[in-house]
Amino acid sequence: MSTSICAPIYIGLMSGTSLDSIDAVAVRFEPGFELIACHSQPIPSAIHSSTLALFNPGDNEIERLGRLDLELAELFATAVENLIRVNHLDRQQIAAIGSHGQTIRHRPEANFTLQIGDPNLIAERTGITTIGDFRRRDMAAGGQGAPLVPAFHSALFRHPEHNRVLVNIGGMANLTILEAAGDKPVLGYDTGPGNVLMDSWIKQHKQKSYDRDGQWAAQGQVLPQLLKQMLALPYFSETPPKSTGREQFNQCWLEQIVNALAVKPQPEDVQATLLELTAVSIADAINSHPLSDQQVFLCGGGSHNSQLRSRLSALLKPHYLSTTAELNLDPDWVEAAAFAWLAYRTLNRMSGNVPEVTGAAGYRPLGAIYWGN
């Protein structure tokens, strides 16, 4: 029997800003990284709507949050059970679940962040040790609590000869700079919106959850004045460490800028401009780190948007552009795998953050452990 077969399995759960589904993966990290199984659990429309409603201040928030905390935990537990059942995993080999939870607030400027989906309930329903609440220990140490995936990117994707940039395009977009020189620190931060504004705009005007391949955006024309107004937001010129979320990039913010334009724009032109905003903000961030022979690898849902990839390719020339599939990890499963890795680190009493990325005072073990049966 090979060593990898005996090595413990870790499960990672990720529900991102886009709220399209829960990603669940089973992985091993010894003797090397191995993706064993993956599963996508749809989020029911009622939970989707309840979560969206909690992103913004409203009435009876605590009661609604408490109920949603449990509903999401049940859904996370179901995702784990389906992952185990469909892929015939041996429960005895599973060491822990790493659950990111669903972010409801991320306010680094006020030193707090909140993810829900009660890990107690996940541990109780599955019987498996669950690790959650990864972000707040980093914040307690003076960090932003995000992004956390650059540490995993460095462990898995760093190359001794090539400078690499990993770009995760979910609801928000974040990048990780991995210099070939092993003594160089990992850099990473949120660049701004990924899919969140495009998804919101097409939902409002086309009743679709997302713009497949950027087809609707491709029908419009970029509006230079709108793009200029959005890029004038101070966040884009702030120096890292920095992180952001729906608190900044949301439908209300977008409509305020659109409504202030002298001429009412066509909806497809706004969509084209939102795609350009995502592309330009990512490319500007990458180009601000002038490294030779950069290889740029995309992951997350936005990596499938062919129109967005085309714009990034044009803006990043002559740098090489591909997805993490080329690095043997499907772009859809990178973030979930990252939280399995963070659970592995925590359970083995190792740090999970990168101070140069988050701004924390030092390396810290992340998350709280909720023991299984």
Note whether 85 and 108 are within 8 A (CB): no
**Six-digit token string for 289:** 């780190």
Number of domains in the chain: 2
Average pLDDT in the chain: 95
Q: Which residue has the tokens 């990111």?
A: 100
d(CA 250, CA 105): 13
Q: Are residue 50 and residue 129 in the same domain, yes or no?
A: yes
In tens, the pLDDT along 288-322 reads 998 888 999 999 999 999 999 999 999 999 999 99
Strand segments, DSSP code E, in 92-247 are 94-99, 102-107, 112-116, 130-132, 163-169, 172-178, 187-193
d(CA 206, CA 26): 36
In tens, the pLDDT along 80-136 reads 999 999 999 999 999 999 999 999 999 999 999 999 999 999 999 999 999 999 999
Comparing CA positions, the residue from 343, 350, 324 lying closest to residue 156 is 324
**Six-digit token string for 282:** 């990512």
d(CA 16, CA 100): 9
pLDDT bin (cut points 50, 70, 90) of residue 2 is: very low
Prediction pTM value: 0.95
Would you tell me how many other CB atoms lie within 10 Å of the CB of residue 314?
11
Q: Residue 241's domain spans which residues?
A: 149-327
pLDDT bin (cut points 50, 70, 90) of residue 18 is: confident
Question: Helix or strand or coil: residue 157?
Answer: helix
Note whether 42 and 371 are within 8 A (CB): no
Q: Are residue 16 and residue 54 in the same domain, yes or no?
A: yes
User: What φ, ψ does residue 54 adopt, rounded to 5°?
Assistant: -85, -10
Q: Are residue 131 and residue 190 in the same domain, yes or no?
A: no
Pairing mode of beta strands 9-14, 320-323: unpaired
pLDDT bin (cut points 50, 70, 90) of residue 221 is: very high
Q: Are residue 191 and residue 274 in the same domain, yes or no?
A: yes
Identity of the amino acid at 198: M
Q: Are residue 118 and residue 191 in the same domain, yes or no?
A: no
Q: Are residue 140 and residue 182 in the same domain, yes or no?
A: no
State the CATH number of the domain containing residue 337: 3.30.420.40
